[in-house]
């Protein structure tokens, strides 16, 4: 294991040992005294082993500190690492962020302050930072009614220096911006205010400009006892510039969005809801030369339109509940070019035609209904139906992605409660999917998929004993449309079961046993005769058992879990055995077995001081090997030599995870 892997494991073990005493208690207060908090610190830390050679760590620190009665400091520190010890150097990603805001109240609504910001990413070798001075003012707006206590406006001006380093260049320059937020009641009879926010910032970093603009507004109004409406408007613009060879690339993104929501209660048990949104995003990739002798890149733009409307009707009574939903989504995107390279009309038209190939229109129509019937207080029957159609259209004849995708789903679920803390569930369902390419060049990929679902389950919890068992069997038959593609037909059967057993020995001691089994069989399907020929089978067993012991005290509570976990995956298939060099391949039925097993430990600590520690360790022994038996006849496919099938591996990998959350507050 590399040094960083050993360091992660060292942190994990030390945290286990020191968990009980690492929380700092809050200073005791006098009875009846409730002072205002002076400082607050939120710390979260997580380290874990992601894979055989990959480790991840994230540390996040949020803080708030009142320096004086008029001064306040807020800060955030973040580090995130992802390492792979096989690399040279052993690194994948390493990011850092630091942010601090210091404010000083001057009186009469005025406020001054400063802001520091720093970001670094080692993956793309970038660093950016800024120092900004702030001057703000807030005041109450003239109330239209005596009950208006919220109407106010806030203004913030900020300016300073910005810094950015990337691609071997270091740029610095002025940065400035403005933020305005208001909350106001539009008229005297209003019960909900209008919220408006305007934000803009700009940084001139040498030859590059970074700019962002945000304008948002929200208003909700209750018309009467039966109807309520809400309107949201927004505009966002972002300009980011970066270096490309010989040019500065400008990515300009502009988005206009609106959303209208209306809720109407038709009767005591019937309601209607309408959600409608329109989003108009656009993006431009623009280039300008750093030197007169450099060759510029072609400017590219696209315009997009996104429409989403959802209409929903709900009906509810004591024994019957019904819901009907209609949803329509449409997305259109069109590309265009600027003649910034002074191309001849014929060459410009050729380039534009090449970009228009990517133009696309997607339309999705969805109908969904759900009916729930309660024949008795302890039983419920639910019927769910869904019908969806996706249509993809491309104006260009060279784009062959025009297709229709349809999906129909019908699902029936029954849930019942019986005497003796016994509950049962049963769900059956069917799906029908059709995938059709419109143009002949892709029609060989057309297929129809039929799926069947069967999901029984029960829960039995008499006293200290608890048993939960669930099963899910689904079968898929995928059939190609063309007669020449029938060898690609597939039948897929998946059976998954979960068993969860627990027994409460004492109020602080719990015994658990969990078992999960998943079997996936893939076969070649002869649809006219409805016959299958097995191709591949994967069976997974996951068994985990343990004993959990808890403790409680005046400073907090703890728990320790000791157990064992066994995970095995077996892949069954056919292969060829090469008995001798250059010999005839013999058919064998091959099993590839992967086993992961070892003791499983977990520890948790929760204190009254706001400290939480969660740790786990799976001392996993990983082994892989082959088993096979010879079959009749010959086989032309993947082949193995006897020495390859006799090869086995065995390694020890400690999989660990540690998570710490610490909330620290202090009072004067």
Segment 576-590 mean pLDDT: 81
Structure-model confidence comparison of residues 342 and 284, the more confident one: 284
pLDDT digits (tens, 9 = 90+) for 238-263: 999 999 888 999 999 999 999 999 99
Using DSSP, state whether 315 is helix, strand or coil.
strand
Pairing of the two strands 320-337 and 126-140: unpaired
Residue 663 in this model has a pLDDT that exceeds 80: yes
Is residue 650 assigned to a domain? yes
Q: What's the pLDDT score for residue 665?
A: 78
Q: How many CB atoms neighbour CB 195 within 10 A?
A: 16
Assigned domain for 267 exists? no
Cα angle 557-558-561, degrees, rounded to a multiple of 5: 150
Minimal CA–CA distance to 442: which of 481, 408, 486?
Answer: 481
What digits encode the pLDDT tens for the residues 389-436? 999 999 998 998 999 999 999 999 999 999 878 999 999 999 999 999
- pLDDT of 291 reads 86
As a whole number of angstroms, the distance between CA 664 and CA 67 comes to 17
- pLDDT of residue 286 exceeding 90, the answer is yes
Per-residue HEC secondary structure of 15-75 comes to HHHHHHHCCCCCCCCCCCCCCCCCEEEEEEEEEEECCCCEEEEEEEEEEEEECCCCEEEEE
Whether the Cβ atoms of residue 207 and residue 167 lie closer than 8 Å to each other? no
Residue 94 lies in a domain: no
What are the tens digits of pLDDT across the range 453-477? 999 999 999 989 999 999 999 999 9
Please check whether residue 396 is in contact with residue 361, taking contact to mean a CB–CB distance below 8 angstroms: no
| Pairwise CA distance, residues 260 & 229, whole Å | 7
d(CA 117, CA 160): 12
Q: Give the largest Cα separation in the chain, rounded.
A: 97
Residue 1 in this model has a pLDDT that exceeds 80: no
Q: Is the pLDDT of residue 668 over 60?
A: no
CA-CA distance, 339 to 348, in Å (whole number)?
Answer: 7
Question: In this structure, are strands 110-121 and 93-107 parallel, antiparallel, or unpaired?
Answer: antiparallel
Per-residue pLDDT, averaged over 108-120, amounts to 95
- From the list 273, 253, 249, 251, the residue with the least C-alpha distance to 262 is 273
The pLDDT tens digits of the residues spanning 34-77 come to 344 578 899 999 999 998 889 999 999 999 999 998 999 999 99
Label residue 232 by pLDDT band (50, 70, 90): very high
pLDDT given for residue 234 in this prediction = 97
pLDDT band at 598 (very low <50, low <70, confident <90, very high): very high
User: What pLDDT score was predicted for residue 5?
Assistant: 46
Contact 666, 36 (CB under 8 A): no
**Residue 588 belongs to a domain:** yes
Q: What is the structure's pLDDT at 87?
A: 73
| Model confidence at 189: pLDDT above 90 | no
């070649």: which residue's tokens?
524
| Domain count for the chain | 1
If 0-12 CB within 10 Å is exposed, 13-18 middle and 19+ buried, where does residue 147 land? exposed
Residue 147 is predicted with a pLDDT of 65
Backbone φ and ψ for 93, nearest 5 degrees, come out as -150, 145
Q: What distance in Å separates the CA atoms of residue 639 and residue 631, rounded to the nearest whole number?
A: 14
> What does R_g of the chain's alpha carbons equal in angstroms?
32
Task: Characterize the bridge pairing of strands 639-640 and 556-577.
Answer: parallel
106 pLDDT exceeds 50? yes
Is the CB of residue 461 less than 8 Å from the CB of residue 421?
Answer: yes
Please answer whether residues 472 and 498 qualify as being in contact, where contact means their C-beta atoms are separated by less than 8 angstroms. Answer: no
Which residue is associated with the tokens 């639910």?
382
Under 8 Å between Cβ of 336 and 355: yes
* Residue 87 three-state SS: coil
Please say whether the beta carbons of 314 and 271 come within 8 A. yes
Q: Does residue 24 sit within a domain?
A: no
- Distance between CA atoms of 139 and 155, rounded to whole angstroms? 9
Element (H, E) at 261: strand 247-265
Query: pLDDT class for 86, splitting at 50, 70, 90?
Result: confident
Dump strand ranges (E) for 344-489: 360-376, 379-393, 403-418, 422-437, 447-460, 465-480
Q: Which residue has the higher pLDDT, 217 or 184?
A: 217
Q: How confident is the model at residue 144 (pLDDT cuts 50, 70, 90)?
A: low
What does the pLDDT read at residue 15?
41
Looking at every residue in the chain, the average pLDDT score rounds to: 90
Q: Give the integer Cα–Cα distance in Å for 589 and 298.
A: 57
What's the pLDDT band for 440 if we cut at 50, 70, 90? confident
Q: Which residues are paired to 428 by β-bridges?
A: 412, 454
Determine what percent of the chain is predicted with pLDDT higher than 90: 72
Distance CA 616, CA 608 (A): 22
Domain range for 573 is: 554-667
Q: What are the residues facing 418 on neighbouring strands?
A: 422
Phi, psi of 440 (to 5 degrees): -65, -30
582 assigned to some structural domain: yes
394-421 core/surface letters (b: 16 or more CB in 10 A; e: else)? bebeebeebbbebbebebebebeeeeee
The residue assigned the tokens 């809400």 is 230
Q: Is the pLDDT of residue 336 over 90?
A: yes
Mean pLDDT of 329-341: 94
In a domain, 154, yes or no: no
Between CA 179 and CA 170 the distance in angstroms is 28
Phi, psi values for residue 355, rounded to 5°? -80, -35
Phi then psi for 352, rounded to 5 degrees?
-70, -40
In whole angstroms, give the CA distance from residue 39 to residue 87.
Answer: 42
Q: Would 37 be classed as within a structural domain?
A: no
Average pLDDT over residues 591-611: 95
Categorize the per-residue pLDDT at 143 as very low, low, confident or very high, splitting at 50, 70 and 90. Answer: confident
pLDDT at 190 over 80: no
Which pLDDT score is estimated for 146?
64
Q: How much is the average pLDDT of 231-237?
A: 97
Tens digits of per-residue pLDDT, 199-231?
999 999 989 999 999 999 999 988 888 899 999
Residue 518: what pLDDT? 97
Calculate the dihedral angle through the C-alpha atoms of 478, 483, 485, 489, rounding to the nearest 10 degrees: 20
Residue 333 — φ and ψ, nearest 5°?
-135, 135
Residues 78-85, mean pLDDT to the nearest whole number? 92
């Amino acid at each position: 294991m590399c040094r960083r892997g050993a360091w992660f494991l060292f942190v994990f073990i030390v945290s286990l040992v020191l968990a009980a005493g690492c929380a700092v208690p809050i200073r005791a207060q006098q009875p009846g005294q409730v002072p205002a908090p002076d400082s607050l610190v939120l710390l979260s830390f997580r380290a874990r082993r992601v894979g055989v050679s990959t480790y991840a760590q994230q540390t996040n620190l949020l803080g708030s500190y009142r320096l004086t009665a008029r001064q306040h400091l807020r800060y955030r520190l973040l580090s995130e690492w992802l390492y792979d010890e096989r690399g040279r150097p052993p690194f994948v990603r390493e990011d850092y962020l630091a942010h601090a805001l210091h404010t000083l109240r001057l009186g009469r609504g005025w406020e001054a302050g400063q802001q520091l910001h720093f970001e670094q990413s080692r993956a793309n070798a970038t660093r950016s930072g800024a120092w900004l001075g702030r001057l703000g003012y807030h005041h109450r707006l003239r109330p239209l009614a005596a009950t208006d206590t919220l109407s106010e406006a806030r203004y913030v001006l900020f300016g300073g220096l910005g810094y950015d380093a990337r691609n071997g260049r270091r740029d610095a320059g002025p940065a400035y911006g403005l933020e305005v937020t208001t909350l106001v009641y539009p008229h005297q009879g209003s019960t909900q205010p209008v919220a408006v926010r305007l934000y803009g910032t700009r940084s001139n970093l040498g030859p590059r400009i970074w700019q962002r603009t945000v304008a948002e507004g929200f208003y909700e109004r209750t018309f009467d006892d039966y109807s309520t409406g809400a309107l949201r408007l927004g505009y966002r613009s972002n300009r980011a510039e970066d270096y490309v060879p010989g040019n500065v690339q400008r990515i300009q993104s502009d988005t206009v969005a609106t959303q209208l929501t209306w809720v109407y209660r038709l009767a005591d048990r019937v309601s209607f809801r309408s959600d409608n949104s329109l989003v108009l995003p656009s993006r431009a990739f623009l280039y300008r030369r750093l030197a007169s002798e450099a060759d510029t890149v072609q400017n590219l733009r696209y315009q997009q339109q996104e429409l989403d409307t959802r209409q929903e009707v709900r009906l509810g009574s004591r024994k019957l509940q019904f819901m009907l939903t209609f949803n329509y989504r449409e997305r259109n995107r069109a590309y265009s070019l600027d003649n910034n390279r002074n191309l001849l009309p014929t060459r410009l038209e050729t380039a534009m035609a090449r970009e228009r190939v990517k133009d696309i229109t997607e339309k999705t129509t969805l109908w969904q209904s759900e009916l729930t019937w309660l024949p008795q207080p302890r039983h419920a029957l639910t019927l769910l139906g869904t019908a969806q159609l996706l249509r993809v259209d491309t104006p260009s004849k060279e784009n062959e992605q025009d297709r229709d995708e349809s999906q129909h789903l019908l699902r029936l679920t029954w849930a019942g409660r019986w005497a003796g803390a016994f509950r049962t569930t049963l769900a059956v369902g069917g799906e029908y999917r059709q995938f059709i390419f419109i143009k002949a060049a892709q029609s060989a990929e057309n297929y129809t998929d039929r799926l069947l679902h069967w999901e029984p389950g029960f829960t039995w919890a008499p006293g200290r004993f608890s048993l939960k068992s669930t099963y899910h069997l689904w079968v898929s038959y995928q059939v190609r449309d063309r007669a020449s593609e029938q060898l690609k037909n597939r039948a897929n059967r998946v059976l998954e079961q979960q068993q969860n057993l627990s027994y409460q020995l004492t109020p602080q001691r719990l015994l658990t046993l969990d078992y999960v089994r998943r079997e996936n069989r893939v076969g070649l399907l002869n649809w006219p005769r409805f016959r299958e020929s097995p191709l591949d089978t994967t069976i997974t067993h996951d068994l985990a058992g343990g004993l959990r012991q808890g403790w409680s005290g005046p400073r907090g509570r703890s728990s320790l879990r000791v157990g064992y976990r066994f995970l095995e995956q077996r892949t069954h298939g056919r292969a060829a055995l090469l008995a001798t060099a250059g010999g005839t391949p013999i058919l064998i039925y091959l099993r590839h077995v992967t086993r992961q097993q070892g003791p499983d430990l977990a520890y948790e600590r929760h204190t009254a001081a706001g400290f939480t520690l969660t740790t786990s360790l799976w001392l996993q022994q990983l082994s892989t090997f082959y088993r096979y038996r010879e079959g009749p006849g010959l086989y032309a496919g993947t082949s193995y030599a006897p020495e390859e099938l006799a090869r086995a591996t065995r390694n020890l990998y400690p999989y660990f995870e540690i998570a710490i959350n610490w909330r620290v507050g202090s009072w004067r």
